[in-house]
Structure 1
Amino acid sequence: MKKLIYALLPTLLLLSFIFMKMKKDPAKDFLNSLSPELLQKAQLEFDHSEKTNWHFVPSSMYQREGVSLKELNNNQREALQSLFKTYLSKSGVEKIEQIMGLEAVLRSMSGDSVMRDPGAYYVSFYGDPSGDSPWAWSFEGHHISLNFTIVGDEVVATPRFFGSNPATIPSGPREGERTLKMEEDLGFELINSMNSDQLEIAIFQEEPMREITTRNIPKADPLDPVGITYSSLNPQQKKTLIKIIDEYLSALPKALSNKKRRQVEDEGMEHLRFGWVGAREKGSAHYYRIQGLSFLLEFDNSQSGANHIHTVWRDFDGDFGRDLILEHYANSDHH
């Protein structure tokens, strides 16, 4: 039997090598699909200054690095879809498709084909996915900013921003369609389940916010510890709070979202706080935030007659993979 195994060993090693070569790598496949001209635009140095200069306004208002959707042919777009499906869940892919689709709605409402351009979303790579050093990629345009940093087998997916305008489509063939519906409805469910004593603690400001507090700053630090603590909620309210966190994580693949959820739990649920600002029903400006030891998520719906949502997840030390990169360099001899 041993002789047979030894005889087959070279064949098994060859098959293993062939399998590894055949194994798909969506990042490399996408870059390999690009022409030299597009590749030069798409791939930048890992420490390029634009890596942390993220934004969520229309591309006519903020010039982005990278290659745009409208520059890609069908094969290149398919390669980009494979990249999305690797680093996002089905729900995450649906969110970006819905948000990009709202550009056509805004174009029909405003007649502005320059600001409202569904093709003005950009993909950028920082560093080389083929090497053993950290690398990153981003996808960004109006109301979308997805930032992924890869260090070995570890993936960081923050800052992660989704927005929707209009949040509820007011007319036309898609009338009544709501993008980021669950993020809003679960917030209302939680705040409207509270008694008067809980509301006094949870509502930390009466004047409506005009924007998420952290905006698009490169590094988010913990905000003031406002709102009601997890420990002050009843069992059903605690479940709703976790549902909100899970909804924000649902854009990520299951393994990545589960890992982040475990991190939140391991840090201690008693450290979670839920804070609310503004109206407790649709139609008027409202805002909420959930903050833990290592992260913050924000929801705001105050612009355009409270029909314009901004949401974001920030990691205080982990945005753009800062903690992983520091650990990598500290443990790498060649650095």
Structure 2
Amino acid sequence: MSAHGEDIDGFFTTARTAGRSEAVAQAAGSFRDYLYDLDDPTLAPYRGMGYEEFTADRYTAPFLRELLETWEGLYREPFVGITTGGEPEPGRYRLPDEPFGDDAEAIAAAGRLLDALSPAGRARISYPVDAPEWRGWSNPEFVFFRTGIRLEDEDEPAVDAVHALMRATLSPEGYDRVREAMRLNGYLGELTRLPTVMNERSYWFAIFGEPGEGPWGWQLFGHHAAVNFVSVGGRHVVAPVFLGGEPAVAEGREPLFAARERLAIELAESLTGAQRAAAVVYDSVLDPAMPEGRLHPADERHVAGAFRDNRVVPYEGILASELDAHQQELLRAIVEDFLLLLAEPQRAATLAEVEATLAETRFSWYGATDGSEPCYFRIHGPVILAELDHHAGVWLANRLPARFHVHTTLRMPNGNDYGKAYLAEWMRRHAGS
């Protein structure tokens, strides 16, 4: 049995999925109180391993092999999108008649990245815009699909060009958030003395389509950061997005999701008794009232992570229309924070789509609403699914969820993850041209 106790495979434990009648108290002190000794068997066997060696070792775990078999099966399914009943609701997304915004800088940045690569690198990084590889992203530190180039295997000019392309396509504050998630992965590698397993370049990057020649996009994914950017007919989609951190904070910097959590706690605390009865679905993140299967050893509570492109997610929680004006403003601010990666005017256009469906959008909460416990919350409507979840430790020793290990996801339900609803409309408009 590993130092975690109640071991599943040395990294995951049954404690993270076992219902508890008592409250899940917030872990006392700093995340540093949960650092393993450097010679602990949770860390020491992997010291000096590269990412491929580490992956090969992890593949020997039965739990992980079962997880990867499940992922493989989900990946092979035809894309549908996240829905509430199994079929996408038609008409939820429409391309503008005239493009707005200008991709010229982004297209030039994509060209400079391709120029910075060898012919072999250009072949590895390039995929058709409708390639199935879009759906092969994952967020653990071990490797499953190898899509595009691996940043840590590339020279400095190529890595710089990748970051230049991200800066040219994301908002400045959105790029900073993605960059901070990558830095936190490097920070975790330093804390555990496993920099060859987890570092700021532990990421795959690919380009889909021909930039400047119709729809195109790019994908970055690796430990605690996965971003999919698509440009179709003048509209940008940045989804699916997975951003997280263990820990989600480094000394001297604000926690990665501090603003979002402050807004969410303010909203949850403002609920009246009747509103709370509708919004708070479970009293704790390990509420024994959760049905079998609601908690997953790897995903814990979040429902929209890797390979969950076709998941059926019923609505739960309180309708936004049942919130007062101030509460709705808080909800909008949380949504805007989830959409932070989108550059303007794309973010405003996406916010308008959410606003148009606000009466159908719900807010749900698990746990205490005052920040005294780890929590989970979800905003879910016809054109957005956004969630934040506090997790138990993987590389840290907290066996129960704690607020310093955070996972967040963003999806465009009803078929527009990876811009697929827009892409289908663009192809219909251009059929035969």
Q: Shared topology, TM-score over 0.5? A: yes
Gaps of 5+ in 1: 1-20
CA distance in 1, matches of 2:130, 2:383: 24
More off after superposition, 30-39 vs 101-110 = 101-110
Contact 1:284 1:302 in 2 (8 A): no
Gaps of 5+ in 2: 1-103, 286-294, 394-400
The residue that corresponds to 2:418 in the other structure is 320
Q: Give the superposition deviation at 1:180.
A: 1.6
The residue that corresponds to 1:183 in the other structure is 260
Larger helix percent = 1
The residue that corresponds to 1:250 in the other structure is 340
What TM-score do you get using the length of structure 1 for normalisation?
A: 0.84
Name the aligned partner's letter for residue 275 of structure 1.
S
The residue that corresponds to 1:233 in the other structure is 323
The residue that corresponds to 2:283 in the other structure is 206
What SS class does the counterpart of residue 160 from structure 1 fall into?
strand
In the TM superposition, 1:1-335 aligns within 5 A as 25-58=108-141, 60-132=142-214, 134-169=215-250, 174=251, 177-208=254-285, 210-220=300-310, 223-267=313-357, 269-282=358-371, 284-304=373-393, 305-306=401-402, 307-316=404-413, 317-334=415-432
What TM-score do you get using the length of structure 2 for normalisation?
A: 0.66
Contact 1:160 1:314 in 2 (8 A): yes
* Structure ranking higher on relative contact order (CA contacts 8 Å, 6+ apart): 2
CA distance in 1, matches of 2:372, 2:191: 20
CA distance in 1, matches of 2:352, 2:424: 22
CA distance in 2, matches of 1:116, 1:39: 25
What SS class does the counterpart of residue 270 from structure 2 fall into?
coil
User: Post-superposition, which runs of at least 4 consecutive aligned residues in structure 1 deviate over 4 A?
Assistant: 21-24
What SS class does the counterpart of residue 52 from structure 1 fall into?
helix
Contact 1:220 1:314 in 2 (8 A): no
Q: 1:22 to 1:65 in 2, by over 3 A?
A: closer
Q: 1:24 to 1:63 in 2, by over 3 A?
A: closer
Name the aligned partner's letter for residue 410 of structure 2.
W
Contact 1:273 1:292 in 2 (8 A): yes
Q: Give the superposition deviation at 1:248.
A: 0.9
Across the aligned residues of Structure 1 and Structure 2, the Cα RMSD in angstroms comes to 2.3
Contact 2:148 2:207 in 1 (8 A): yes
Q: Give the superposition deviation at 1:99.
A: 0.9
What SS class does the counterpart of residue 162 from structure 1 fall into?
strand
Of all paired residues, the percent bearing the same amino acid is: 25
CA distance in 2, matches of 1:237, 1:157: 26
What SS class does the counterpart of residue 342 from structure 2 fall into?
coil
Number of residue pairs the alignment of both structures matches: 308
CA distance in 2, matches of 1:167, 1:282: 16
The residue that corresponds to 1:14 in the other structure is none
